[in-house]
Structure 1
Amino acid sequence: MTAAGRLRRESVRMQAAELFEQDVKPPEVARRLRVSPKSAYQWHQLWCEGGVQALASRGPSGSRCRLSPRCLEKLAAYLEQGPAAHGWVEDQVWTAARVATLIGRKFHVSYSVSGATRLMHRLGFSPQVPARRVAERDEQAVTAWKEATWAEVKERGRPAGATSASRTRQDSPADRPKDAPGADEAARRL
């Protein structure tokens, strides 16, 4: 959840607390604040047990980052150096799996691929294929292949008159062939 979303959620809970103080029942609170009745009942229970403080935000949920701020700075510097500086010389792509491996090698901390992706986004990076073409790409060979081979391989589309655009309707049982499955049953119903 974004910071703005968390602030809105906390604002709604504080509004609910004000309504509870005015003896407004949870179903009415849910209707007024446009939240689910389940949320309103949960908030009411928390409010009864601990007042307004019980409805205050406790910060973002989820596990804390396992890397210190200093380690995050080092990781950002490693990512800026590029994959080749860390042993991936075949291309210049930071994948989430590579970042998870790099974190394990450099900081001895295990991260899942999805965790590495979230960490990369937090640092302003994203796992992706670069927009640049590889240096070894032979443009003449690619053009020749597209003109000769692809033209032969590409499946030709349907001719313009071969398609139909009509409504479908259920076939009448009387129109079925006599030897079709279920034809004898359909004949008995007629």
Structure 2
Amino acid sequence: MVSTTPPQAKTWSRRGHTPVVKVRGRSRRRLSIAALTCYKPGQRSRPIHRPRKDDGRHDGRKGFSRRDYRDLLIAAHQPLGGTIVLVRDNLNVHKAAGLREVAVSRDWLTIYSLPPYAPDLNPVEGIWSPLRSGWLSNVAFSTPEHLIQRIRQGLHRIQYRPRLIDGCLAETGLGINP
């Protein structure tokens, strides 16, 4: 495998003039990421994530389907073990009947919904800010795979900063009561 340095965009301009970086073409490709912030008393907090590239081969959706979310929850349950209490926002796929069926069929899963328009109560929202301002900033991504690689690197580094992840939960005002 050949490792290359990703292209980084750095430029300058006169004060008061915003620099413009021109790119060729327009991509219709889309990348979606589903993530969970996982908290277990007595253990290190960590994010679990799964990227999904919209390559047109799925069910025509431009994001995660309920099957994708189900698979993510099952994949999260394997290393975590025990009961999972999922606190979700009001994305329409999150409220789909298929996910309710998953919760009913799995005795280890309990789902609570956040009120509408309450991103400040969702701990995973706190993960995106350091990811965007750190590992994803100032990079011109050459391919969707390059973007996925950088996201994984950033989330991997965040995984080893449990205080950052704990701070995302503390910022919401929610707590863990075993």
The verdict on a shared fold, with TM-score over 0.5 as the criterion, is no
Return the structure number with greater strand share.
Answer: 2
Length-normalised TM-score, structure 1: 0.18
Q: Which has the higher contact order (CA 8 A, sep 6+)?
A: 2
